[in-house]
């Protein structure tokens, strides 16, 4: 019997789409070497150039975090399960409860007593618990996929004050999962849409809105005013920002994140357990982990993870049960399987460790490598330019680097489909003398394709700015947008 190495969704394209690989080996190092030996494309995703395991990839043996052990030498035996978990673009209880348990908890009106009657008869809630909920101030960062169910359940449960941070407008593509919004509020600011829906659900909730991007300049001022933060962001800079601000202000951070069919949830509270940076001290380089816009997400998934965030938030307020501190819950929707990993606090964590190097908020865009990307001056072509040039030069080769299922939704006639993951192995099919233009959905993956082609010696390569979406808007309106 061999050791089973579980492969996470973002890395499956590099192992032929499989979710698990059986390997022989006596230690974690041996297994990983064998894995990347058999699947060379996986190597740069797991190891830095100096051979170290990348810091945004964690390895667990039988659900145990092995980073505090001698990582590579950690022994494994037949029948063990090794999980590779990369970061994906997520007494608090007693303390939070206690600070409101003092006399002076707000009284419940007759209307509230009736409304919350199913809570009031629960032994772990009761009148005092409901009063704690009413006194609580919870900040939701993001009113999107995760923020939607979290906001609705927290409002329904009677959390007295909900803060919402978002700067977006409701878009039709949001409605497949962002149940806080509706068709009637497409085009309206998410905060306005959310406030109306929350007040319809429960007019007793006070909604405080922050129509802004959370930044290093405003995060401490905003978060300071709340008891608990529920992080429903979809990007790494904001995740690290929320984490660091919560550590600095000693606030529990209820974390959730989603990707395609998988989700993660945890509660980070540095005083009582690890923080997000204890897990992932550094973010993946920009573009390595696709966003939901690029990678897709099953509509119900944020409903499940966001509901877990709401549940954990309520438990923290009530001081009930065991909070998800020091534990990471992984949810696989396709298998309908929950797994739980034990998390260790990293004594050298840069923000919550014994000698922190991060003692104030930093530039998170720069930290996540955003803005430091190579310049693509001259490497991009607009949709209109491509149309004109293609007419003059029919020999121009347009390569569609999206996935086949995206090609099925819409494609540009004459383009050749070579999914990004297959490109390195299919360079031989391409004629380096021809002008090449790469395209994808919105123009990000095609820049990666351009880099691969340039590195392989193709010189006449450009990328379609804005992807097939720009083509549908500016050149061929008969194509559906998605």
CB nearer to Zn ion: pick between 280 and 390: 280
- For the bound state, the minimum distance from the C-beta of residue 386 to Zn ion, rounded and expressed in Å, comes to 47
CB nearer to Zn ion: pick between 67 and 277: 277
The token pair at 443 is 């123009």
Count of other CB atoms within 10 angstroms of residue 341: 20
| b/e sequence 21-47, b meaning 16+ C-beta within 10 Å | bebebebbbbbbbbbbeebeebeebbb
| 278 noted as active-site residue | no
CB nearer to Zn ion: pick between 14 and 276: 276
Ranges of H-type helices in 124-187? 126-135, 147-157
- For the bound state, the minimum distance from the C-beta of residue 246 to Zn ion, rounded and expressed in Å, comes to 10
CB nearer to Zn ion: pick between 345 and 407: 345
- For the bound state, the minimum distance from the C-beta of residue 252 to Zn ion, rounded and expressed in Å, comes to 13
Contact between 347 and 278 (Cβ < 8 Å): no
**Catalytic choice (246, 278, 349, 440):** 440
Rounded Cα distance, 406 and 402, in Å: 6
Residues 6+ apart with CB under 8 A from 442: 293, 294, 466, 467, 469
The token pair at 347 is 């004594």
- For the bound state, the minimum distance from the C-beta of residue 352 to Zn ion, rounded and expressed in Å, comes to 3
Q: Determine the residue with CB nearest Zn ion.
A: 349
Pairing between strand 461-464 and 3-6? unpaired
Helices (H) and strands (E) in the chain, counts: 18, 18
| 292 noted as active-site residue | yes
- For the bound state, the minimum distance from the C-beta of residue 255 to Zn ion, rounded and expressed in Å, comes to 12
Contact between 329 and 256 (Cβ < 8 Å): no
Q: Which of these, 358, 150, 161, 345, lies nearest to 254 by C-alpha position? A: 150
CB nearer to Zn ion: pick between 345 and 448: 345
CB nearer to Zn ion: pick between 205 and 278: 278
Contact between 85 and 66 (Cβ < 8 Å): no
**Catalytic choice (275, 278, 292, 352):** 292
Residue 396 to residues 36, 378, 452, 455, Cα–Cα distance (Å)? 36, 17, 18, 20
Q: Which of these, 5, 6, 11, lies nearest to 259 by C-alpha position? A: 11
- Count Cβ atoms within 10 A of the Cβ of residue 393 and give its class: 0-12 exposed, 13-18 middle, 19 or more buried: exposed
- For the bound state, the minimum distance from the C-beta of residue 268 to Zn ion, rounded and expressed in Å, comes to 8
Which residues are near Zn ion by CB under 5 A?
A: 275, 277-278, 349, 352
- For the bound state, the minimum distance from the C-beta of residue 427 to Zn ion, rounded and expressed in Å, comes to 42
- For the bound state, the minimum distance from the C-beta of residue 356 to Zn ion, rounded and expressed in Å, comes to 8
Residue 241 to residues 153, 200, 208, 310, 363, Cα–Cα distance (Å)? 25, 32, 20, 21, 9
CB nearer to Zn ion: pick between 322 and 354: 354
CB nearer to Zn ion: pick between 87 and 193: 87
Strand ranges (E), 79-204 = 81-86, 137-141, 161-165
Contact between 301 and 261 (Cβ < 8 Å): yes
Catalytic residues: 292, 440
């Amino acid at each position: 019997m061999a050791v089973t190495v579980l492969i996470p969704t973002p890395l499956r394209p590099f192992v032929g789409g499989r979710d698990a690989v059986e390997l022989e080996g006596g230690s974690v190092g041996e297994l990983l070497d064998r894995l990347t030996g058999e699947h060379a494309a996986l190597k740069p995703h797991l190891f830095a150039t100096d051979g170290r395991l990348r810091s945004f990839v964690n390895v667990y043996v039988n659900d145990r975090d092995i980073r505090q052990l001698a990582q590579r030498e950690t022994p494994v035996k037949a029948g063990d399960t090794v999980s590779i978990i990369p970061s994906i673009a997520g007494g608090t209880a007693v303390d939070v409860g206690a600070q409101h348990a003092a006399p002076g908890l707000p009284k419940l009106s007759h209307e509230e007593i009736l409304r919350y009657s199913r809570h009031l008869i629960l032994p772990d809630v009761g009148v005092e618990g409901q009063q704690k909920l009413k006194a609580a101030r919870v900040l939701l960062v993001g009113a999107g996929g995760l923020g939607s169910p979290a906001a609705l359940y927290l409002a329904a449960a009677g959390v007295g004050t909900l803060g919402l941070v978002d700067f977006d407008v409701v878009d039709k593509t949001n409605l497949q999962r962002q149940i806080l919004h509706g068709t009637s509020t497409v085009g309206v600011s998410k905060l306005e849409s959310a406030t109306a829906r929350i007040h319809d659900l429960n007019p007793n909730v006070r909604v405080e809105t922050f129509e802004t991007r959370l930044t290093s300049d405003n995060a401490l001022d905003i978060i300071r005013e709340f008891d608990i933060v529920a992080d429903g962001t979809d990007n790494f800079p904001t995740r690290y920002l929320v984490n660091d601000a919560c550590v600095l202000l000693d606030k529990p951070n209820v974390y959730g994140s989603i990707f395609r069919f998988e989700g993660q949830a945890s509660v980070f509270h540095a005083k009582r357990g690890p923080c997000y940076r204890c897990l992932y001290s550094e973010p993946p380089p920009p573009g390595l982990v696709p966003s939901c816009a690029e990678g897709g997400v099953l509509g119900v998934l944020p409903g499940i993870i966001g509901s877990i965030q709401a549940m954990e938030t309520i438990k923290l307020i009530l001081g009930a049960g065991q909070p998800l501190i020091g534990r990471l819950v992984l949810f696989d929707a396709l298998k309908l399987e929950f797994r739980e990993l034990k998390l260790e606090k990293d004594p050298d964590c840069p923000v919550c460790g014994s000698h922190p190097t991060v003692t104030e908020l930093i530039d998170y865009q720069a930290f996540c490598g955003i803005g430091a990307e190579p310049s693509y001056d001259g490497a991009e072509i607009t949709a209109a330019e491509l149309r004109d040039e293609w007419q003059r030069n029919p020999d121009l080769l347009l390569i569609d680097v999206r996935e086949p299922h995206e090609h099925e939704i819409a494609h540009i006639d004459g383009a050749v489909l070579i999914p990004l993951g297959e490109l390195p192995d299919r360079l031989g099919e391409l004629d380096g003398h021809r002008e090449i233009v790469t395209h994808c959905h919105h123009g990000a993956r095609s820049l990666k394709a351009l880099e691969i082609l340039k590195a392989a010696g193709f010189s006449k390569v450009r990328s379609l700015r804005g992807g097939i979406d720009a083509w549908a808007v500016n050149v061929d309106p008969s194509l559906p947008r998605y």
